[in-house]
């Protein structure tokens, strides 16, 4: 692949300090009415570019991140890959979001631009290094030409280009324009990992300062002159539509400009956010529930339970499970585990801004996890040619999967709202927290029926698991969705007779991947059930697992490491118990040990978590550790407190953080992380910290109290 160097002669990209990551204020030439918003590519009005690296005459090096930055660290990680091969100084590195382009900026594992599945580093590892190496070669070629010396004699170190014999030396900036004129090398050589100077180091993150002083710009912060603010009244039943509405009172609210019906509900437009909210509160909407889900969660669960006995899809069926259970001397264990719907609840609810640029192209600002999809959805809804819409990915206040949706239903709503406004004024559309918690696209509800057989020697000889729930990928009832069974049908434990059956349930409630996808429930079911089987035959949870992980060296590596960290087997303080779990997800292996006690309310209190992670070649161990800490907190909060339930008649019960609890600082355990040294290809860390924490906690809890966890969340109603 080749890379085009963009010089400062192209419009305005690198104009100095104002263009530091995330705080760029759009140049006035871009769109006179935009007061605040970060243009994709960092430079407004620039044509879409096949570029991952830009070298400024001011010596800054800016990488264009094809992946959205929402806390998992791609700005820092991708910049590290580029800086390593470019031999740049870390202090000169910057990062911005790339424009939306499903070809140029494709996730090489997806075939389209997208962030998800913990793939940002994994799919970019060679691509961004190659981009850096290409830029380096072109800078060296420029220096050779400028100085009249052989390129082979030129060295680059920490952002300085040198020719020792002549004593010539330069920064990148002075040679940037000339470098852009060079022919890119066809096959730039990448470093041997033993020569890495930046990869594997705890480099400071590029976006910390702006995120600590209020200057980082998120979609909610996009401002334009004469902006309209819009919110939509949504139904509190899934599948409900507007039957009729009365906007008389809403229109009387000071600041309300208009009210329009859109396919998703009733939109209220106002001169400021509060007026829009007040107008929405003053609406009277009658909803048509004729096509809505009217079953309650308990009715759904009963229907799921009936399906267990029906014929499902074999995800795996090896050996002879039926025979294994009927062998003489075999004892068996059964369990049914119920998982609730989970909302992602990112801190920044979904939002988007629409501002018509002075070049006649509509700028759309949003936290796009699938920028190409969001771009197309906006263009389609608005009836515009794709070239007349520019999608500007903004920093996003978390996502956890929420901002990645096929068909971009959120963007469809936002675009419908903009379309119905007539597009005369710039517009920002915002969801409230209630819109978010009640917005569907949940981690689906699942029911697992587990059955295990142990022979007379105490060996687990059969595993029979049935999983009932929605297919996140929208598969038909006869077609296996790997994401429903991942981690179960790929059970790492050597068990001769293994059967995993999947049932796809069709519901009106839209499903979605939620940080670690299928592993959110399969990891829990597998790791709690295997722990129970081991306990039943008196085996140690760590030793017992290791004995069954006969062909899994990386599971084994993290498990042994975490046991060392926790000094597994040593005395545990009175009133506490420990639990362990190991889950491989997205190519990354994570083992965790937790220490749990019973709190004053009678519920689990997790004090300490030891975590060992093997994600191949570590790029930035500090970012990896942060993702493990965050994954533990996110997963633990859900396991302890969270469920979205449908009440009588299908009405959604929860609505905000008071009844859809987030873990808080007083509930956060101390997490100690070890990153396993490795030169394997790097794999992701955004999600894999999540799956083990639930089962490790439940295992410790069962050993402490004798009560297995058969239903999540552990704290009923989420209030302890």
Partner 1 sequence: MVSFTLNGTEKTFDGDPDTPLLWVIRDFEKLTGTKYGCGVAQCGACTVHLDGSPRRSCITPISMVEGSDVVTVEGISGAEADAVHKAWLALDVPQCGYCQSGQIMSAVALLQLTPKPSDEDIDGAMAGNICRCATYQRVRQAIKDAAGMMEG
Partner 2 sequence: MSVSRLLFIAGLSAAVAAAAGLAAGVSAAQDHTAATLKPASDFEQITDKTARAVALFEEAGKVIQHPRCVNCHPAGDKPLQGMGMHPHQPPVARGEADIGMPGMMCGTCHGPANVDVVAQAETIKSIPGNPAWHLAPIEMAWEGRSLGQICEQIKDPARNGGKTLDEIVEHMAHDDLVGWGWDPGAGRESVPGTQEVFGELMRRWAADGAACPKA
HSE-CB at 279 with a 13 A cutoff on CA atoms is 28
> Could you tell me the smallest distance in angstroms from the CB atom of residue 272 to partner 1?
4
Pick from 32, 10, 43: which is nearest to 392 by CA? 43
SS3 of 40-56: the string is HHHCCCCCCCCCCEEEC
For the four alpha carbons of 677, 682, 686 and 689, in that order, the dihedral sign comes to negative
Which H helix or E strand runs over 409?
helix 409-421
Under the criterion CB under 8 A, does residue 633 sit at the interface with partner 1?
yes
Alpha-carbon span 369 to 381, nearest angstrom: 19
Question: Are β-strands 313-318 and 160-163 bridged in parallel, bridged antiparallel, or unpaired?
Answer: unpaired
Under the criterion CB under 8 A, does residue 9 sit at the interface with partner 2?
no
Q: Residue 601: which of partner 1, partner 2, none does it interact with, CB under 5 to 8 A by kind? A: partner 2
> Could you tell me the smallest distance in angstroms from the CB atom of residue 606 to partner 2?
16
- The region of 208-216, 459-467, 575-583, 584-592 touching partner 1 under the rule CB under 8 A is 208-216
> Coil, strand, or helix at residue 286?
strand
Alpha-carbon span 338 to 361, nearest angstrom: 49
Binding to partner 1 (CB under 8 A) within 430-459 occurs at 430, 432-433
Q: Residue 622: which of partner 2, partner 1, none does it interact with, CB under 5 to 8 A by kind? A: partner 1
Give the list of residues 6+ apart from residue 349 with CB closer than 8 angstroms, or none.
Answer: 430, 431, 432, 433, 435, 436
Give the residue, chosen from 39, 77, 397, 694, that forms a contact with partner 1 under the rule CB under 8 A. Answer: 397
Which H helix or E strand runs over 366?
strand 362-366
Pick from 26, 34, 27: which is nearest to 356 by CA? 34
> Coil, strand, or helix at residue 184?
coil
Q: Residue 346: which of partner 2, partner 1, none does it interact with, CB under 5 to 8 A by kind? A: partner 1
Give the residue, chosen from 291, 658, 670, 710, that forms a contact with partner 2 under the rule CB under 8 A. Answer: 658
Closest to partner 2 by CB, 697 or 720: 720
Alpha-carbon span 55 to 538, nearest angstrom: 62
Give the residue, chosen from 148, 214, 360, 706, that forms a contact with partner 1 under the rule CB under 8 A. Answer: 214
Under the criterion CB under 8 A, does residue 207 sit at the interface with partner 1?
yes
Pick from 173, 171, 166: which is nearest to 156 by CA? 171
- The region of 6-14, 259-267, 275-283, 466-474 touching partner 1 under the rule CB under 8 A is 275-283
Q: How many residues bind partner 1 (CB under 8 A)?
A: 67
Query: In this structure, what token pair is assigned to residue 691?
Result: 């799956």
Q: Are 432 and 509 in contact (CB under 8 A)?
A: no
- CA 644 to chain centroid: 20
Q: Residue 231: which of partner 2, partner 1, none does it interact with, CB under 5 to 8 A by kind? A: partner 2
Closest to partner 1 by CB, 500 or 612: 612
Under the criterion CB under 8 A, does residue 664 sit at the interface with partner 2?
yes
- Transcribe 694-715 into DSSP letters: HHHHHHHHHHHHS----BSSSS
Largest CA distance in the chain: 85
> Coil, strand, or helix at residue 579?
strand
Alpha-carbon span 430 to 367, nearest angstrom: 12
> To 10 degrees, what angle do helices 519-536 and 541-548 make?
110
Q: Residue 565: which of partner 1, partner 2, none does it interact with, CB under 5 to 8 A by kind? A: none
Alpha-carbon span 448 to 243, nearest angstrom: 38
Under the criterion CB under 8 A, does residue 434 sit at the interface with partner 2?
yes
Alpha-carbon span 176 to 317, nearest angstrom: 60
Tell the burial category of 387 from Cβ atoms under 10 Å away from its Cβ (0-12, 13-18, 19+). exposed
Alpha-carbon span 268 to 245, nearest angstrom: 12
> Could you tell me the smallest distance in angstroms from the CB atom of residue 76 to partner 1?
9
Q: Residue 36: which of partner 1, partner 2, none does it interact with, CB under 5 to 8 A by kind? A: partner 1
Give the residue, chosen from 49, 138, 161, 275, that forms a contact with partner 1 under the rule CB under 8 A. Answer: 275
> To 10 degrees, what angle do helices 519-536 and 621-641 make?
80
> Coil, strand, or helix at residue 273?
helix
Under the criterion CB under 8 A, does residue 152 sit at the interface with partner 1?
no
Q: What is the DSSP letter of 720?
A: -
Under the criterion CB under 8 A, does residue 643 sit at the interface with partner 1?
no
Under the criterion CB under 8 A, does residue 296 sit at the interface with partner 1?
no
Under the criterion CB under 8 A, does residue 607 sit at the interface with partner 1?
no
> To 10 degrees, what angle do helices 74-86 and 120-147 make?
30
Backbone angles phi, psi at 490, to 5 degrees: -105, 35
Query: In this structure, what token pair is assigned to residue 251?
Result: 């229109």
Under the criterion CB under 8 A, does residue 656 sit at the interface with partner 1?
yes
Under the criterion CB under 8 A, does residue 601 sit at the interface with partner 2?
yes
Give the residue, chosen from 79, 161, 307, 663, that forms a contact with partner 1 under the rule CB under 8 A. Answer: 663
Cis peptide before 657 (omega within 30 of 0): no
Q: Mask: binding to partner 2, 256-295, rule CB under 8 A, as x and -?
A: ------------------x--xx-xx--------------
Alpha-carbon span 549 to 583, nearest angstrom: 12
Under the criterion CB under 8 A, does residue 704 sit at the interface with partner 2?
no
Alpha-carbon span 640 to 642, nearest angstrom: 7
Closest to partner 1 by CB, 473 or 668: 668
> Could you tell me the smallest distance in angstroms from the CB atom of residue 199 to partner 2?
40
- The region of 9-17, 71-79, 124-132, 410-418 touching partner 1 under the rule CB under 8 A is 71-79
Binding to partner 2 (CB under 8 A) within 361-420 occurs at none
> Could you tell me the smallest distance in angstroms from the CB atom of residue 281 to partner 2?
4
Under the criterion CB under 8 A, does residue 154 sit at the interface with partner 1?
no
> Could you tell me the smallest distance in angstroms from the CB atom of residue 22 to partner 1?
9
- The region of 114-122, 430-438, 517-525, 610-618 touching partner 2 under the rule CB under 8 A is 430-438
Q: Residue 70: which of partner 2, partner 1, none does it interact with, CB under 5 to 8 A by kind? A: partner 1
> Could you tell me the smallest distance in angstroms from the CB atom of residue 274 to partner 2?
7
Q: Residue 327: which of partner 1, partner 2, none does it interact with, CB under 5 to 8 A by kind? A: none
Closest to partner 2 by CB, 67 or 280: 280
Give the residue, chosen from 4, 36, 617, 705, that forms a contact with partner 1 under the rule CB under 8 A. Answer: 36
Q: Residue 406: which of partner 1, partner 2, none does it interact with, CB under 5 to 8 A by kind? A: none
Binding to partner 1 (CB under 8 A) within 334-393 occurs at 345-349
Give residues in contact with partner 2 (CB under 8 A): 231, 274, 277-278, 280-281, 432-434, 601, 655-659, 661, 664, 666, 719-720
Give residues in contact with partner 1 (CB under 8 A): 35-36, 70-73, 204-205, 207-218, 220-221, 223, 229, 254-255, 272-275, 277-278, 345-349, 395-400, 430, 432-433, 622-623, 626, 629-634, 637, 656-658, 662-666, 668, 670-671
């Amino acid at each position: 692949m080749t890379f085009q160097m963009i010089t400062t002669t192209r419009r305005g990209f690198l104009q100095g300090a104002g263009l530091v990551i995330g705080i760029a204020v759009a140049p006035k030439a871009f769109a006179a009415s935009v007061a605040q918003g970060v243009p994709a590519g960092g430079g407004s009005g620039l044509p879409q570019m096949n570029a991952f690296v830009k070298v400024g005459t001011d010596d800054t090096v800016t990488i264009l991140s094809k992946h959205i930055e929402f806390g998992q660290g791609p700005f820092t990680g991708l910049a590290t890959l580029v800086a390593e091969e470019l031999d740049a100084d870390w202090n000169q590195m910057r990062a911005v979001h790339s424009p939306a382009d499903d070809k140029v900026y494709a996730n090489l594992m997806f075939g389209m631009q997208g962030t998800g599945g913990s793939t940002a580093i994994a799919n970019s590892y060679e691509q961004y290094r190659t981009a850096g190496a290409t830029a380096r070669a072109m800078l060296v070629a420029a220096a050779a030409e400028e100085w009249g010396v052989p390129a082979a004699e030129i060295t680059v170190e920490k952002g300085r280009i040198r020719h020792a014999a002549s004593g010539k030396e330069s920064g990148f900036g002075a040679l940037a324009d000339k470098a852009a004129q060079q022919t890119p090398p066809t096959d730039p050589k990448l470093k041997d990992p033993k020569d890495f100077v930046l990869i594997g180091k705890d480099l400071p993150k590029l976006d910390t300062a702006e995120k600590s002083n209020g200057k980082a710009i998120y979609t909610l912060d996009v401002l334009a002159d004469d902006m309209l603010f819009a919110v939509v009244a949504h139904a509190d039943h899934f599948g409900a539509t507007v039957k009729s509405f009365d906007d008389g009172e809403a229109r009387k609210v000071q600041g309300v400009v208009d009210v329009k019906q859109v396919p998703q509900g009733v939109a209220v437009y106002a001169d400021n956010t509060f007026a829009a909210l007040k107008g929405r509160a003053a609406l009277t909407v009658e909803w048509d529930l004729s096509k809505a889900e009217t079953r309650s969660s308990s009715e759904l669960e009963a229907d799921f339970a009936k399906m267990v006995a029906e014929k499902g899809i074999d995800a795996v069926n090896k050996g002879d499970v039926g025979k294994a259970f009927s062998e003489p001397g075999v004892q068996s264990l059964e369990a049914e585990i119920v998982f609730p719907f989970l909302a992602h609840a990112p801190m920044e609810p979904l939002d988007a801004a629409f501002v018509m640029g002075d070049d006649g192209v509509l700028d759309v600002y949003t936290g796009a996890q699938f920028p190409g999809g969001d771009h197309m959805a906006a263009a389609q809804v608005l009836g515009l040619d794709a070239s007349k819409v520019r999608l500007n990915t903004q920093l996003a206040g978390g996502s956890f999967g929420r901002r990645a949706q096929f068909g971009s239903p959120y963007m469809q709503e936002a675009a419908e709202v903009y379309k119905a406004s007539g597009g005369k004024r710039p517009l920002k559309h915002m969801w409230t927290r209630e819109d978010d918690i009640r917005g569907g696209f949940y981690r689906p509800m699942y029911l697992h029926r587990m059955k295990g057989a142990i022979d007379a020697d105490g060996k687990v000889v059969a595993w029979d698991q049935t999983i009932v729930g929605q297919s996140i990928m929208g598969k038909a009832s006869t077609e296996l969705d790997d994401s429903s069974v991942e981690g179960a049908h790929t059970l790492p434990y050597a068990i001769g007779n293994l059967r995993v059956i999947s049932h796809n349930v069709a519901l009106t409630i839209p499903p979605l991947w939620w940080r670690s996808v299928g592993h959110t429930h399969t990891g829990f079911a597998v790791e709690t059930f295997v722990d129970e089987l081991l306990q039943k035959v008196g085996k140690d949870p760590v030793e017992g697992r290791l004995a069954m992980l006969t062909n899994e060296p990386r599971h084994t590596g993290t498990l042994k490491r975490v046991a060392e960290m926790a000094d597994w087997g040593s005395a545990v303080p009175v009133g506490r118990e420990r639990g362990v779990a190991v889950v491989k997800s997205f190519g990354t292996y994570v083992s965790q040990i937790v220490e749990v006690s019973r709190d004053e309310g009678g519920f689990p209190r997790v004090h300490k978590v030891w975590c060992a992670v093997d994600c191949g070649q570590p790029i930035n161990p500090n970012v990896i550790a942060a993702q493990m800490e965050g994954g533990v907190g996110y997963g633990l909060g859900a396991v302890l407190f969270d469920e979205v339930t449908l009440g009588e008649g299908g009405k959604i019960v929860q609505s905000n953080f008071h009844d859809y609890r987030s873990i808080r600082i007083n509930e956060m355990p101390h997490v100690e992380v070890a990153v396993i040294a490795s030169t394997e290809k790097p794999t992701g860390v955004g999600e894999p910290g999540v799956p083990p924490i639930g089962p490790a906690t439940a295992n410790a809890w069962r050993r402490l109290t004798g009560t297995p966890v058969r239903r999540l969340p552990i704290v009923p109603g989420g209030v302890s």
